[in-house]
Amino acid sequence: MNSTLLARALRERAEKVEEHVEDVGEGERWHRRDNAELLRVLARVVEGQPVVRAFGAPGDWGYSHPIGKALAAKPEGLV
Q: What is the pLDDT of residues 1-32, one digit of tens each?
A: 999 999 999 999 999 998 877 788 887 888 89
pTM of the model: 0.86
pLDDT per residue as tens digits for the range 30-73: 889 999 999 999 999 999 999 999 999 999 999 999 999 999 99
Is residue 36 within 8 A of residue 14, CB to CB? The reply is yes
CA distance 52 to 45: 9
Q: How far apart are CA 47 and CA 11, in angstroms?
A: 12
